[in-house]
Structure 1
């Protein structure tokens, strides 16, 4: 029941977005408009406040290493190999990797950690790793895909934090944390209100995108194409919900983590795909169909896989 209570708001918000779109309360462009709001305003505010309140000196090195290694392996394998097997073009492969290995550490990770682990301290470190290591790599690749010649330009990479509000918000938060700078009360209250919209609006946008024509703007697929898409989605879900936590378990055992640390790493690695994946896919106009289906399916199935992980590890 505790896990169900953690997942229920997620399902309800996505369902509300789907229902609002289906009954005409939200227009055809609702999902991209809401997605842009989350990407450019709400998410950067939330990430800045999270990072600025995260003391870098108290990080759990070995558990974080196990989580990071499992994430890098799954994202890399999915991006460089598995996406090729399904014929994904190069521009969509970063989204494939992100769908398979980028965990929902915020809106779902926090309630799950509270219910299963009794603490959310490790989630702040996961947020740090994903937004300062994984996110820039993904966004640089997507930025390169948007270049007409497909080139990596050092000037564009150097200016990416200034052009990308997600990286900018995270980087500024780290600066505030390292230098222990105060956030003025008025600014904190304003950013908190804005950041609080990131999760619910992102989920409503996700639900709205699941109604109607495929997000990529393509016609409904033929039966064989639909079967291929289903196999692809099954591969994503298997990598995300089974492969990543299993790999985290193996690495954690190799690093001789304590039982509590092992449970923490496995549960965090087994969280479903973050809705940020869909937001990024929508912002760059690549892989939206896979991203929104991946978020929806892994969120639905992770209730069972997380419960199994907690039971097997004795919690």
Structure 2
């Protein structure tokens, strides 16, 4: 119970605060998009830049952690893709459902949760998990959607569009710039350092409130025949697969294993909804999946934290 009250409840209380603001009418219909833009384009990139710029290489280069978390995510994505295609789903829809079951909310929930549960030393691996999620996994889904919706287009053109989309992603650019700054030994002027720190410190609370605003939006009735397997794959199967890979295949340290499993056990991130909305593919299913997995994860994350003694 200590894990629930000291770590999980404060984080989900911020989500609930955002939910309450939207449902009560204090925040308008554009609040979700605007706050989300602040987090994605300013606050979270500043946090990623600060972490990477101030980190030692051995804090980020953890091959076992990268393999366990990355392969765990890809395995769940592949399982969902095959399952949905065998059910007759369009490849574009199956790819988005792959994100629904494998795209962990590492950016909005992962950072504050890891910091509270494991301390600031866990933010290096949390950054790696975020990069793998928002770049590798999202890039793969984006490529498949592009190929599915443009069957006559060349593979080179689809790859070009995906590469350009990722190159513009601030969540990818920020850690790259941070790595360059660290490699070159750049020392930030005090004013710029303070500016980045203010933005970075705003990332976690604003991200959680933005998520609450998002889940408060009214949406259609859930299709439980699809949503139930997606939520189970995300909150139960993915952390189980990641744990097996981390503990028994790559044999990483117990601390890194705990971080990898916790990151993989996070609810579905809003990136899946953004992709569905952009391409006009089953956005109601994706939105409901984000909502339901976020609610259920309060219990599943509490169980994991209690198991690891936090």
Normalising by structure 2, report the TM-score: 0.77
Which stretch shows the higher mean deviation, 260-269 or 19-28? Answer: 260-269
Q: Distance in 1 between matches of 2:135 and 2:115?
A: 24
Task: Choose which of 288, 295, 302 in structure 2 pairs with 1:293.
Answer: 288
Q: Distance in 1 between matches of 2:193 and 2:24?
A: 37
Q: State the partner residue of 1:237.
A: 231
Are 1:40 and 2:41 counterparts? Answer: yes
- Note the alpha carbon deviations across 1:232-271, whole angstroms, 9 max, x for none: 2221221111111111222231333454444343333223
Q: Distance in 2 between matches of 1:209 and 1:34?
A: 10
- 8 Å contact from structure 2 (residues 47, 200) kept in 1: yes
Instruction: Name the structure where helix makes up a greater proportion of residues.
Output: 2
- 8 Å contact from structure 1 (residues 2, 115) kept in 2: no
- Flag the 1:18–1:175 CA change in 2: closer, same or farther, 3 A: same
Q: What SS does the corresponding residue of 2:55 show, helix, strand or coil?
A: coil
Q: What SS does the corresponding residue of 2:106 show, helix, strand or coil?
A: coil
Q: What SS does the corresponding residue of 2:186 show, helix, strand or coil?
A: coil
Q: State the partner residue of 2:127.
A: 124
Q: State the partner residue of 2:250.
A: 255
Task: Choose which of 136, 141, 154 in structure 1 pairs with 2:139.
Answer: 136
Q: What SS does the corresponding residue of 2:22 show, helix, strand or coil?
A: helix
Q: State the partner residue of 1:67.
A: 69
Q: Distance in 1 between matches of 2:126 and 2:284?
A: 28
Structure 2: where are the runs of 5+ without partners?
none
- Flag the 1:162–1:115 CA change in 2: closer, same or farther, 3 A: closer
Structure 1: where are the runs of 5+ without partners?
215-219
- Flag the 1:159–1:112 CA change in 2: closer, same or farther, 3 A: closer
Which stretch shows the higher mean deviation, 164-173 or 109-118? Answer: 109-118
What's the C-alpha RMSD, in Å, of the aligned pairs? 3.5
Shift of 1:196: 3.8
